[in-house]
Amino acid sequence: MTTSGQAAIRARRRARFTEVVREIASHPSALIGAGLLLLIVVLALLAPVLMPMDRLDVTKITAHGNESPSGGHWLGTDPSGRDVLGLLLWGSRASLLVGFSATAIAMVIGTVFGMAAGHFTGLTRAVVLRIIDFFLVVPSLVLAIVLSTVLSRGLSTIVIAIGVTSWAQTARVVRAQTLTIETRPYIERSRALGAGDRHIIGKHVLPAVMPLVMANTTLTVGSAIILESTLAFLGLGDPTTFSWGSMLKTALDTGAATAGYWWFVLAPGVAIVIVVLCFTLVGRALEAVLNPTLRSR
Amino acid sequence: MTEPTLVWDDVRITYAGGNVAVDGVSLEVERGGTVGLAGESGCGKSTLAMSVLRLLPRSARIEGRIVLQGEEVAGMTWGRLRAVRWTEAAIVFQGAMHSLNPVRQVRHQVAEALALHSTKEFPDSAARLRRVDELLALVDLTPAKGRAYPHELSGGQRQRVMIAMALACDPELIIADEPTTALDVVVQAQVLDVLNGLVRDRELTLVMISHDLAVLAAVCDRIVVMQDGRIVEQGKAQQILAAPTHEHTKELAAAFPIIGDPSSRLVVGRDPGSLSDHSSLSVSTSSTGGVVLEVRDLTVDFRSRGQHVRAVDHVDLSCGAGEIVALVGQSGSGKTTLARTILGLQKPTSGQVLHEGKPLPHRRAALKAYRRQVQYVLQDPTASLNPKHTVYEAVAEGIRIHGLDDERERVIRALTRAELTPPERFFAAIPQELSGGQRQRVVIAGALALDPTYLVADEPVASLDASVRGEILALLLQLRRDLGLGALVITHDLGLAWNIADRVVVMHRGQIVENGPVEQVLLDPQHDYTKSLLAVVPSKLGLR
């Protein structure tokens, strides 16, 4: 590839990118979602600065258990006297980490399987489709529970369990898009030029399904965070790390809700809702921008 | 004097962004009159027609008066407009496939208009369906066809369903927007016949839009030629066709040559003088080359819903180096399947394809090498280019697949040969920014980039405008002259064969029924099928 051709292509990509950014910016809900998300990510990264770990150390804290919100503890304390705001900050790290990395795994598997199921024919397609169907019909929560009990305990197990169980929908969507792309005459032209499977998938199919994958990503992140909370709530998470799910579990175990300690139940619950909502807002806007047929609806 | 059915009085239609689609058009359509609107895409003919029923997008601003049956369209209330749509004026849309709901039987779709507009005459669904059967009979369809779904009907049948739908509420005026554009010649003749009969028997007023003057002349008394939103010429159909005065009309008329007219033989494009000397030279030299492609006893079967369909039936064909062969036939005659089999995109059931005497290889690597030699140009240039790829990427695609060096040099050379100059200007363009003709040139450049020895072109100009059609055909002739590049051109248009081909091969139901030099086949056809094809060429329909 030569410089002028490359430069021209780069300029076009840049122009397209700014266009997409401008389109997204024209959706106020997406801006709010993206802004909040950025804030939450920054807070999660700054957790060690804002709330040093030793302030959550049960042996060093002075506060009583189940204190209601006050100037000292904005969101009150948990049954062992730890600051709920601190737990929330530290818990966001695990929740976001699991959400992002599990989604990454799910997207890669989903895209690869989806494209394979759409591109190939005959036996390959039949086998790939049955695998997708298997993961589609097995309840992902049950499968995730099984996986996280079989594998060793830890955050990475949760990531794998969620990643492996939540790619099937993406694969189906990608397959549908692949099928429509494959019938386009430009695929035929490419074949007539001598292209093989790798070229067609890499140059024509992958770029065409990417927008869908991107939009799906943001939607999957939300459900991955919920799934992580669920697993932690069921006691299948890593007991040594805080996450919003494990906070809810502690709340359940200590009877916080029935005892009227609302701050300890509501805080992680609302946090989960906000993050998932933000991802959904951004995801919907992204979908509308990248898929022009959804515009003006 | 009765009042005219439809009047446009100094109508000006502007789209958002200041784009003037119709620029001061005044036109009257008398009761029972038939008017053809001709022009290239973008000349405003569709906008003008849609304005009658206020079917334009919101962004369109209409100035001037449009009067339908003595009533001003702009002044109608919503309820009145809804009543007028379909009962007084109905539209037959362009793409019959896209205008029909794929998941409903067509008779229910025809009945829909009745249910909306004529509940008094046809109160229950049984009465409506009886009326639908009558309507279908008007357009020569049996009631059984009404129970079919759109995909089970052929293109011509679907178009006739659309016409039946338009007739449902006995409108005074029918607007037909390119009703035959996507149809092949035989079916086109049938649809035009139906329209002709309806106009005669029911004294309909018809406004028909087309880019093909000959098609309009076959149905309409009067033709109006538009360019850039203005009327440039109007008059009696025969007069426009036989003696056009305006430049643009001449161009439109020239794009559909009269078979047998020596002045359009192997001469196309806007500058016939300089081309004719060369191309007449090349004819004598071209046929001396050896055989590049040969098809021996080729049969291709498809299996669909448990039935075997024989698309190609024991076909023998050979194409010499530098020879332009036109493969002519109706849609469904197996032309495209034959082309795809020749390119190795479709496995033959039996028989052989030979390239320079050697049978087509089955191994991938060898097949890839073969595909460098024989290139494919598809029907619709818009669809055959990836909308996300720049021109540079599209042309370089084959070069990259085959791992050739000097990518940039080859791209420049290919674009120059396809007459996209200066090539650098087109590098960064995406297909959307190019005109139809330029897009087809990009596709041809992509094929040329691999220095092929033969081209297979499937309806290379069927989706292009009349004037662009000439340019692309001239390009094919010039490539033959400069590079000795032969081509197998698949077409349903016998005029195209007359324009550029050395030899014509007529295909009917998978079999080749006639094969010989252009002059012989087209001027002295032997087979009945060839004769019937020649009989329905629009330029002859008009003279009938």
> What percent of chain B lies above the pLDDT cut of 70?
92
Give span(s): CATH 3.40.50.300, chain B: 1-88+203-254, 89-170, 272-541
- pLDDT band per the 50, 70, 90 thresholds, residue B270: very low
Mean pLDDT of B350-356: 87
The pLDDT assigned to A102 comes to: 92
Per-residue pLDDT tens digits for B141-197: 888 888 888 877 777 788 888 888 888 888 888 888 888 776 777 778 888 888 888
pLDDT tens digit string along A68-95? 777 777 777 877 778 888 888 888 888 8
Hey, what's the torsion of the CAs at B379, B383, B388, B391, to 10 degrees? Answer: 20
**Assign residue B212 a region: left if phi > 0, alpha if psi is -120 to 50, beta otherwise?**
beta
Q: Mark yes or no for CB contact A1/B407 under 8 Å.
A: yes
pLDDT at B305 over 80: no
| DSSP sequence for B72-137 | EGGG--HHHHHHHHHHTEEEE-S-HHHHS-TTS-HHHHHHHHHHHH-TTT--SHHHHHHHHHHHHH
In a domain, A87, yes or no: yes
Q: Which CATH number fits domain B1-88+203-254: 3.40.50.300, 3.40.50.460, 3.30.70.940, 3.10.290.10?
A: 3.40.50.300
Residue A120: pLDDT above 50? Answer: yes
pLDDT value at B371 more than 60: yes
Query: Are the C-beta atoms of residues B448 and B370 closer than 8 Å to each other?
Result: no
Domain range B272-541, CATH class: alpha beta
Residue A189 lies in a domain: yes
Query: Best residue in A1, A187, A193 to probe B by mutation, most B CBs within 10 Å?
Result: A193
Judged against a pLDDT cut of 70, whether residue B362 lies above it is answered with yes
Please indicate whether residue B394 or residue A219 has the higher confidence score (pLDDT).
B394
In this predicted structure, the answer to whether residue B452 has a pLDDT above a threshold of 80 is yes
Q: Ranked by mean pLDDT, which of A52-66, A278-292, B152-166, B221-235 comes out on top?
A: B221-235
* Residues of chain B contacting A, Cβ within 8 Å: 343, 345, 364, 367-369, 371-372, 375-376, 378-380, 383-386, 388, 390, 392-393, 396-398, 400-402, 407-408, 411, 424, 427-428, 430, 443, 446-447, 450
How large is the ipTM?
0.71
B144/chain A closest Cα distance in angstroms = 31
Using a CB-CB cut-off of 8 Å, the residues of chain B touching A203 are 386, 397
Whether residue B386 and residue A195 make contact (CB cut-off 8 A), yes or no, is no
% of chain A surpassing 70 pLDDT:
94
The predicted model gives B101-125 an average pLDDT of: 83
Residue A249 lies in a domain: yes
The answer to whether the Cβ–Cβ distance between B343 and A192 falls below 8 Å is yes
For helices A155-165 and A84-119, give the axis angle rounded to 10 degrees: 40
CATH among 2.40.30.10, 3.70.10.10, 3.40.50.300, 3.40.50.720 for B89-170: 3.40.50.300
pLDDT at B486 over 50: yes
Question: Is A65 within the bounds of a domain?
Answer: no
Q: What's the number of domains chain A is made of?
A: 1
What's chain B's Rg over C-alpha atoms? 25
Q: What is the pLDDT of residues B489-519, one digit of tens each?
A: 998 888 888 888 889 999 988 888 989 888 8
Interface of A with B (CB under 8 A): 1-2, 4-5, 8-9, 11-12, 184-186, 188-196, 199, 203-204, 207-208
Contacts of B57 in chain A (CB under 8 A): none
Q: Which residue of A has its CA nearest to B411?
A: A5
What is the three-class DSSP state of B507? strand
- Residue B69: phi and psi, rounded to 5, are 50, 45
B chain contacts of residue A185, beta-carbon cutoff 8 Å: 378-380, 383-384
Mean pLDDT on B129-143: 85
Alpha-carbon span B135 to A214, nearest angstrom:
50
- Best mean pLDDT range from A10-19, B443-452, B466-475: B443-452
What pLDDT sits at residue B280?
A: 42
Residue of higher predicted confidence among A252 and A134: A134
Residue A149 domain-assigned (yes or no)? yes
Question: How do residues B56-70 score in pLDDT, each as one tens digit?
Answer: 877 788 888 888 888
CATH number, domain of A180, equals 1.10.3720.10
Alpha-carbon radius of gyration of chain A: 23
Give the number of A-B residue pairs with CB atoms closer than 8 Å: 81
pLDDT score of B543: 46
Residues B281-292: tens digit of each pLDDT: 444 444 446 788
- pLDDT, tens digit (0-9, with 9 covering 90-100), for B18-30: 778 888 889 888 8
Q: Using CA atoms, how far apart are residues B446 and B441, in angstroms rounded to an integer?
A: 8
Residues from chain B contacting residue A4 (CB–CB below 8 Å): 408, 424, 427
Q: Which residues of A touch B386 (CB under 8 A)?
A: 184, 186, 203-204
Q: Which of A2, A177, A189 to mutate to test the interface with B (most CBs of B within 10 A)?
A: A189
Buried b (16+ CB within 10 A) or exposed e, B474-512: bbbbbbbbeeebbbbbbbbbbbbbbbbbbbbbbbbebbb
Chain-chain contact of A9 with B392 (C-beta, under 8 angstroms): yes
- Residues of A within 8 A of B385 (CB-CB) are 186, 189
pLDDT of B126 higher than 80: yes
Buried b or exposed e, range A253-279, using 16+ CB within 10 angstroms: ebebeeeebebbbebbeebbeebbbbb
- Span B330-348, average pLDDT: 85
Measured between its terminal Cα atoms, the distance across chain B in Å is: 30
Per the CB < 8 A criterion, the answer to whether B506 and B529 are in contact is yes
- Chain B residues with beta carbon closer than 8 angstroms to that of A190: 397, 401
- Which candidate, B154, B138, B147, places its Cα nearest to that of B97? B154
**Among the partner residues A11, A12, A193, nearest to B446 by beta-carbon distance:** A193
Residue A37 belongs to domain spanning: 18-54+74-294
Q: What is the pLDDT of residue A127?
A: 94
Decide which of B222 and B271 is more confident. B222
**Residue A8 resides in a domain:** no
Question: pLDDT-based confidence at B97, cuts 50/70/90?
Answer: low
Tell me: pLDDT of A297 over 50: no
Residues in B closer than 8 angstroms to A191, CB to CB, are: 345
